[in-house]
Amino acid sequence: MKLIILDRDGVINFDSDAYIKSPAEWHPIPGSLEAIARLNQYGYRVAVATNQAGMARGLFDMKTLNAIHHKLHTSAQAVGARIDAIFFCPHAADENCDCRKPKPGMLQEIGRRFETPLKNIPIVGDSLRDLQAGFMVGCAPHLVMTGKGSKTLEKGGLPPGTVVFQNLAAVVDRLLHNDLLSAETVDAARAALQKKK
């Protein structure tokens, strides 16, 4: 199975230091939903992993978060994209839960739900905690410059092997290019075997 894990705020949609507290505040980054549609066309399952401490702070409730995610899903569907699952942590940092990134609990749950090992699965985030959580479970970390990405790059301390891209669309360009190269290599090997026969 081809799986990719995406952070939400700053990767798919514009981020806000004051949190995304309503559907009206949720706006997709240009090209991000179309990039997800391209992933779907090449057989990728798409999971979103997002910290939502605004719930613990009382800034919005479960009903509002569901409404925000409904807008995300319908906006994605409008361009032919599909998000298979959204996983979220509703806790504040001081609650010391296992699911809040940079802890790996939410990503481990994704692995269980999709029944797939996470080794080398691409994870895309704009903050260090996204990449750290992914690195802990063996994911391949991808940092985007949207959202908090520029500040994250400046601060440094990125996990080994982190690759940096302008935005989600650029990540998808690279992934699909590499997939096509792999497919061409397999086809060439098969062709060579046929000739030997």
The catalytically annotated residue of 9, 15, 126, 130 is 9
What phi-psi label fits residue 80: left (phi over 0), alpha (psi between -120 and 50 degrees) or beta?
left
What is the DSSP pairing of strand 44-51 with strand 85-89?
A: parallel
Distance CA 172, CA 169 (A): 5
Beta-bridge partners for 6: 48, 124
Nearest to 87 by CA among 8, 162, 165: 8
Beta-bridge partners for 44: 2
Asked if 7 is an active-site residue, the reply is yes
Tokens of 50: 């997002």
Distance CA 23, CA 36 (A): 20
The catalytically annotated residue of 7, 15, 126, 130 is 7
Distance CA 51, CA 113 (A): 18
Distance CA 84, CA 73 (A): 9
Asked if 9 is an active-site residue, the reply is yes
Residue positions annotated with a catalytic role: 7, 9
